[in-house]
Structure 1
């Protein structure tokens, strides 16, 4: 057997209709090479992992990592990239929009210049293209790329490319500093380097998806912004805590709106209105945190959601008591003015709610 030369890491979610054709194209593009494909599947309900395991029994170049209880493209890529011994590692999508033939050009760029750390397939380099993208999608991608370039401070035409190749030794140096947040692993890799990475770009003609549904949605766009925040400010205020706090602030607005409707318009007495408004705000915060803050650990199924909601309400109820207690103590003992006392109570409650809900609500996965 020839020594392994190249590993292609391919994150998947509901790609059962594409993986067989992708493997066929890899076989053609990499004929005569010693390669392996590491598929990292986030428990696809369409049976992607099971199909890949069947293929792996017939072809030892196919490997499957099935993740349970966690999701996310960047973190999936990191796990797959750390699971191979190949000296070169490529990352590409499973939806057939990335042409496997480009792998040879990426490797050729690295072979031609030993100083290069990675080679990137760019849709916006000369000779590249985005296929039949709609004008709206193209405008969004260009805007996101310009924002990313401000953070990277690098002359890179396609910082949001999902198709690249990196030297394995260099990646392993960067791995401990990667955040694993969001859907843009290249952005994570580029911003994790203390010394700027040396890269080259090769043109990529982006193909259209023929089978399955696109994973692009508003949550993916939000995760892109979250990933940028993590790289700029995450060292000062942890990203997950910042998201939890922002959602908590939105929950205060929800609480006041519900209180106004129930007490002011519906004519309820204050105590029942306040109780229902509190419960409504907690419910809002729980589901928004489940969808965004803990997206990689989010709860599924009626039983898990009910259990999670009950534990979240219990944690936040104790947090509310801590808020009032700390604020009252500081104010009554004249350690702080009313505003400072109130803000101190809010901060203590936020830390309490975050720490306990991370452990008991979203920690069981």
Structure 2
């Protein structure tokens, strides 16, 4: 098997050509990090002294003045840029866009909250420039590393997630969940076209997407306490991680987002039946109206849960955004319901189909329509 460095589109010599281009581009995704961006900029400047580098902040439309501070910093520095993203969020896609925006031969990723030890970056770069590695990971679990003041529950979740990572990659990593790493541009290019963009574990996505196994080294670091602001991690991060795993396993056959949409639709069936059963038990209103109310309730349930989980990166917010989204969702799903019934009835009239197969066909048509239509009209990518 060819190593990535030997493939026609990956030229390792290209990573060593001299010129004005920064040798290292550090990608820093941000969302409401006004209290940290000055400190991380100063820390990186100190750690990377003597290295030709640039800082690329990728901001997901912060609302706390982060970009104003970054503008001030950029005004006095020629090596600091800001990418402002509107209408989409997610660490994985932010990092990918940041990496694609630069031509530096070496790329690094670090959080803005100062929890990663920026002093490890020169050693990471040295391993890349010497040709000893394609990917260098800051690890909390290799000898000398540590998880800081994590509580037992967070440590258990991280350990479980690390074990699950083995489902999609055989890369020799003690910390595949790390968000602190450096990579050569050829190695990044070998994976970029197959990245899922799901969730926030971009390192795992890269390791699982590379065309050939990457040469990986890990360097220990002690995970530090957030300096300012609030953590962006919540329980829904677990869902995003599961979607990443699903996408890497069967995403080439069925999109993970579609499976999430189907799963939530299944939950909506239970909601529908619970509401319908309750109204029938009460004896009011009539069955027709009870069915209509149950259907509407299920649609509203499906909309809000999909908005929270399936389309987390395109989540609709605010009264106007949610109202418009709910209206388009209900209209699209109403058309899907009509298609469901029409297709099932047409097939059932054909002697070749019994009620079961006709019903399944109608459901399949309805689900595909609902997913496609709501992706375009409700949660359209911007």
* SS of alignment partner, residue 114 of structure 2: coil
Does structure 1 residue 137 correspond to structure 2 residue 154?
yes
Deviation at 1:154, TM superposition (A): 2.7
Partner of 1:36: 54
- 1:38-187 equivalences in 2 (<5 Å): 38-112=56-130, 114-187=131-204
Deviation at 1:51, TM superposition (A): 1.4
* SS of alignment partner, residue 136 of structure 2: strand
Instruction: Provide, for residues 137-163 of structure 1, a one-character-per-residue CA deviation record: whole Å limited to 9, x for no partner.
Output: 111111110111232123310000000
* TM-score (norm: length of structure 2): 0.93
Q: Which structure 1 residue ranges, 5 or more long, are not aligned?
A: none
* SS of alignment partner, residue 317 of structure 1: helix
Query: Aligned residue pairs: how many?
Result: 364
Q: Is the 8 A contact 2:28 2:95 kept in 1?
A: yes
* TM-score (norm: length of structure 1): 0.97
Q: Is the 8 A contact 2:141 2:174 kept in 1?
A: yes
Deviation at 1:194, TM superposition (A): 2.2
Q: Distance in 2 between matches of 1:267 and 1:144?
A: 48
Q: Is the 8 A contact 1:56 1:62 kept in 2?
A: yes
Q: Is the 8 A contact 1:123 1:203 kept in 2?
A: yes
Deviates more, 1:13-22 or 1:327-336: 327-336
Q: Distance in 2 between matches of 1:37 and 1:111?
A: 19
Q: Distance in 2 between matches of 1:60 and 1:322?
A: 57
- 1:149-228 equivalences in 2 (<5 Å): 149-228=166-245
Deviation at 1:108, TM superposition (A): 2.1
Q: Is the 8 A contact 1:149 1:159 kept in 2?
A: no
Q: Is the 8 A contact 2:26 2:110 kept in 1?
A: yes
Q: Distance in 1 between matches of 2:66 and 2:313?
A: 19
Deviation at 1:3, TM superposition (A): 4.2
Q: Distance in 2 between matches of 1:23 and 1:302?
A: 36
* SS of alignment partner, residue 28 of structure 2: strand
Does structure 1 residue 353 correspond to structure 2 residue 353?
no
Does structure 1 residue 314 correspond to structure 2 residue 324?
no
Q: Distance in 2 between matches of 1:266 and 1:187?
A: 54
Partner of 2:10: none
Runs of 4+ in 1 over 6 A off after TM superposition: none
Q: Distance in 2 between matches of 1:154 and 1:9?
A: 23
Q: Distance in 2 between matches of 1:309 and 1:321?
A: 18
RMSD: 1.3
Does structure 1 residue 337 correspond to structure 2 residue 354?
yes
- 1:235-254 equivalences in 2 (<5 Å): 235-254=252-271
Deviation at 1:117, TM superposition (A): 1.1
Q: Distance in 2 between matches of 1:71 and 1:34?
A: 30
* SS of alignment partner, residue 293 of structure 1: coil
Q: Is the 8 A contact 1:130 1:205 kept in 2?
A: yes
* SS of alignment partner, residue 101 of structure 1: helix
Q: Which structure 2 residue ranges, 5 or more long, are not aligned?
A: 1-18
Does structure 1 residue 325 correspond to structure 2 residue 342?
yes
